[in-house]
Chain A
Amino acid sequence: MTASVFFGCTFIAFGPAISLFLFTIAREPLRVIFLIAGAFFWLVSLLLASLVWFISVRISNMDNEAQQKGLLIFGVVLSVLLQEVFRFAYYKLLKKANEGLLALSQEETMPISIRQLAYVSGLGFGFMSGAFSVVNILADSVGPGTVGIHGDSQHYFLSSAFMTMAIILLHMFWGVVFFDACEKQCWWAVAAVVISHLTVSCLTFQNPEYVASLVPTYVILFLMGIWAFYSAGGSLRTLKLCLTCKDKDFLLANHRPR
């Protein structure tokens, strides 16, 4: 299609992520560093996954379609597991780093809480995985054509963009829930994160039935969002307080020293 589609899809896919970055992360250098580090950890997990994939495709039979399909599912599962392993590794690293930071810090408290770290690293994971799932599609969206000459749906770009947005937000929520669960040593929640990640990834096998993959993904996104909200310390009471603007601090919120 054209540049308008390119920008439209970019805004859809990365709009929430960019605004989150602008308002919550960009102002604090420490958060930016942790975001980049999170993105790097995701990249390393992808590197490992692609190495395994590369080798397994080489030794597999290229003409056997059933085998290739099986290999694809194996690749997806392996990659998801690797991503979660690296999320855990990153959590462990942050814990260590936090202790170090505390030792260096002149104040009594941490400059950044583990909850904020969870959010920042989740967003870092999301940024990178979003970029990798949509950049090649965006590159093709600049051209004059749209998908469909072989009879495919022409909403391909739009649904890819929405899928990417969901993936980015999900990574953020997964990060929050995962770190919180690790913190509380509540392993079933960790398992729930891994399983929902697997579910979302496998839902994309439904494509090109975009409705069949997008709707469940957004349902999971919504549920994960609520869970993350609660594990980040939110509750119905605070939400109500917030929405009704009863809080007297509201006007001062921005001026309050952090």
Chain B
Amino acid sequence: MLAAVGFNPRCCFFLFLFFKFKLFTMDFGLVTICPNVKPFFLCRSFSAFLLFILAGVSCNSVGKKIYVDLNNTVPCVRLLNATHQIGCQSSLSGNVGVLHVLESEENLDWVLDSGPNPPYMVILETPLFTRSIMMKLKNGSSRVAGVAFVVPNSNPAGGFSPHTSCPNENSGVYTEGYDPTLANCKNTVWNPLGSGLSYEDFDFPIFSLKDDNDTEVIRQCYIVHNRPVNGSTPRYPLCAMQLFSHMSAVTNTPTCMRRNDINFSISPEYVCDPLGDSNVWGSSRPLNNTAKGHKMWESVVIAAARLDSRSFFSNVAPGTESAVSGFVTLLAAAHALRNATQEAQPNRTILYAFFQGEAFDYIGSSRMVYDMEKNQFPLDMDNIHSVLEIGQVGLRSDSKLWLHTDPVSRRNATVNKELIENLQLVARELNISGEEPNLSQPLPPSSFQRFLLNRPIPGVVLEDHRSEFYESMFDNREYLNITYPPELTPEEQLEYVTDTAKALTEVATMVGRALYKQAGGEDSQLKNINADSQIVTQMLYSFLVQSNNSWLQQIISPDSIGHLNDRPLNLYVGVYQQASEPTALVHHLLANLTGSVLNITQENCNNQREDEEDKESKHMYYYIWSQGAAPPNSTERRGFCVRSTSRVFRALSPAFEEHNYTNKAYSTWTESRWKSIRGRIFLVASHELEMLTLGVGIGVLLTSLLLTYFISSKADILFSSAREPTNATY
């Protein structure tokens, strides 16, 4: 995610030349030999020259005639943990290979063995992006320059998950020490389709390409130049591709963090950054945020969801089912609970927690537990009454929802009884069947495991048991069956309540009521707790279609406007130094859905106070200035101040706090830095033609050396008739 500007040292000399003669880089005496006769090109070439003069950069028409730069490329980048590196990388100057579009698995033989022009750049389509093919390519990597994966426009049938089959297996609660029979997914394999590709280390670059004009150019180029016809070998020039994704970090996190600390130059050169971001939390009753540590007489029910997801490729992590379904449900439940908790305050406080970086060994939840232990959070572990975690709940078959509990703590039978009973009671009212899995089944991968690691707390994890596209780029809205009638405008789509939204609303209502009951609220209030399907569908639209819509524009604060995008949200947690998109949006949404609007000025709002003398409110509340909507006859938005308990706190793994990168207890994931990530296609000439050019060049040089020596040695004779008269002139 952190990428510096690309720099090619080889061009330096020429750039120097160009900069030096910036203004003169045109030769009119000799029109640059344009390899295209069409007059429009001449003009384009010259406008390119003009740009060249203006900008003084080495972008010129010759380069355009050679290279086609690929847009919409997404690389796989290198990540590191305490012991390993995973992901992909190219050499410093990019990997070049002759294009080969893989048509079937048998076709691999051409790449790995029989093809005459290695190395090859393999173009893959969805059904061939499997573990077996990728591992064969990995093992034959001297003949493989890289892989480009063409993303299909619809999800593959039968599922695809590049994640491991037992996600986060070493950082959850189920270790050999906790219960040997449950460790390492011995009992239940949570992600049976998981191929583990995301956790392999490839020494060639792997890019994904959107199926559009670029891929069409690539296919055409392949068909015209590279496809072997009737078994004959293709003739030069061949179509080739170059992929740049050189990664600065190697080996593992301890190594790269040590190298971060070595500074030879004035400007420090970092090689990797820890993964992380911010967790979001809010509570049904304001808690003093300044006083850390244990709160007397306080008992909280934590309602948790995860905020992040990942996929094989960096920055394409829609995480629709694995994350969005869960946190949208929790947001809707929090919204449903706003009035009830204000009118009839239950005995216990409900704490909404949204954890970041859970895909990478539970960064967010482990940080919360760590902060509670170190008295850096307004509460500590003793304040926790119970935990209700909303996992993936978007795809219930037969309205069935699984209520997972921990079999080890269940041995003490009463631990989870209350929560399960509450959940089943409200579920029955809503015609949702909340079923308990069999007693030996462990918890699925969930943030709650990190709390259990600390102490046995009652807790339930809601799941729907679906993992076709777990942690893959296909975990998108198509998977969740969110489709809009084609004739709708974006504004109408935002308001259109899909079936998935209705289903999630039901779950949200159930979660809201269960939380209220769990917090000790009165049964009479339960009927008033109903999630709003309109809000749910708006949230789904914002996270899965585009966050840059009229609804979020009203909610967001003016300085967070940059987080709104016209594409589906990317839920990859990213490096700690860079704010990831979902955190800010969820923070604002939670504030608006649970907070109240105050009539105070923008200045006071931004300074966290209700009036000029107010110094106390900031400990209890957080104030956000929302942009608001523009009145019908005006273009200027009328903002408002929202007071809520919605706050963010660090989601950086404790390992980086303690500078202990070999400790297995905490996440140690880091992301390598890189300089440039790009791809381009072009033709390569045969070795013979290159050698011919060199040979002709040397021939010309030697001939002219000889000839000049000969002529200059005989110049007196050769030009003798003129010598005397010339001298005589002067």
B717 at the interface (CB under 8 A from A): yes
Query: What range describes how many residues of B lie at the interface?
Result: 35 or more
Are the C-beta atoms of A69 and B42 separated by less than 8 Å? yes
Are the C-beta atoms of A256 and B716 separated by less than 8 Å? yes
Query: What range describes how many residues of A lie at the interface?
Result: 35 or more
Q: Which of A29-37, A185-193, A205-213 contacts B (4 or more CB under 8 A)?
A: A205-213
Are the C-beta atoms of A232 and B66 separated by less than 8 Å? no
B727 at the interface (CB under 8 A from A): yes
| Dominant secondary structure of chain A at its interface with chain B | helix
Residues of chain B in range 246-293 having any CB-CB distance to chain A below 8 Å:
none
- Taken together as a complex, chains A and B put the C-alpha atoms of A76 and B32 apart, in Å, by 11
B126 at the interface (CB under 8 A from A): no
B14 at the interface (CB under 8 A from A): yes
Select from chain A the residue with minimum beta-carbon distance to B14. Answer: A139
Are the C-beta atoms of B33 and A156 separated by less than 8 Å? yes
B662-701 Cβ-contact flags toward A at 8 Å (1 or 0): 0000000000000000001111110001111111111011
* B295: min CB distance to chain A, Å: 64
- Taken together as a complex, chains A and B put the C-alpha atoms of A4 and B692 apart, in Å, by 9
Are the C-beta atoms of B683 and A15 separated by less than 8 Å? no
Are the C-beta atoms of B221 and A152 separated by less than 8 Å? no
Are the C-beta atoms of B58 and A139 separated by less than 8 Å? yes
Residues of chain B in range 361-400 having any CB-CB distance to chain A below 8 Å:
none
Are the C-beta atoms of A250 and B714 separated by less than 8 Å? yes
* A105: min CB distance to chain B, Å: 10
Select from chain A the residue with minimum beta-carbon distance to B96. Answer: A144
Are the C-beta atoms of A136 and B60 separated by less than 8 Å? yes
Residues of B within 8 A of A46 (CB): 24, 26-28
* B9: min CB distance to chain A, Å: 12
* B699: min CB distance to chain A, Å: 8
Residues of chain B in range 1-40 having any CB-CB distance to chain A below 8 Å:
10-11, 14, 17-18, 21, 23-37, 39-40
B190 at the interface (CB under 8 A from A): no
Name the residue in B63, B682, B693 with the highest tally of chain A Cβ atoms < 10 Å from its Cβ: B693
B65 at the interface (CB under 8 A from A): yes
Are the C-beta atoms of A163 and B700 separated by less than 8 Å? no
Are the C-beta atoms of B682 and A144 separated by less than 8 Å? yes
Select from chain A the residue with minimum beta-carbon distance to B239. Answer: A149
- Taken together as a complex, chains A and B put the C-alpha atoms of A205 and B25 apart, in Å, by 18
Residues of A within 8 A of B30 (CB): 129, 133, 163-164, 167, 200-201, 204
Are the C-beta atoms of B66 and A149 separated by less than 8 Å? yes
A225-258 Cβ-contact flags toward B at 8 Å (1 or 0): 0000000111101110110000101100110100
Select from chain A the residue with minimum beta-carbon distance to B726. Answer: A113
Select from chain A the residue with minimum beta-carbon distance to B695. Answer: A8
- Taken together as a complex, chains A and B put the C-alpha atoms of A98 and B730 apart, in Å, by 10
Are the C-beta atoms of A43 and B14 separated by less than 8 Å? no
B389-432 Cβ-contact flags toward A at 8 Å (1 or 0): 00000000000000000000000000000000000000000000
Known contacts A152-B36, A159-B33; is-contact A15 B717 (Cβ 8 Å): no
Are the C-beta atoms of A232 and B27 separated by less than 8 Å? no
Select from chain A the residue with minimum beta-carbon distance to B693. Answer: A8
- Taken together as a complex, chains A and B put the C-alpha atoms of A178 and B729 apart, in Å, by 18
Select from chain A the residue with minimum beta-carbon distance to B681. Answer: A149
Known contacts A57-B50, A69-B42, A72-B43; is-contact A242 B717 (Cβ 8 Å): yes
A-B contact pairs, 16 of them (CB 8 A): A19-B708, A79-B27, A79-B28, A109-B730, A133-B29, A140-B60, A144-B242, A145-B67, A146-B683, A154-B685, A161-B697, A201-B31, A208-B36, A238-B720, A242-B718, A253-B714
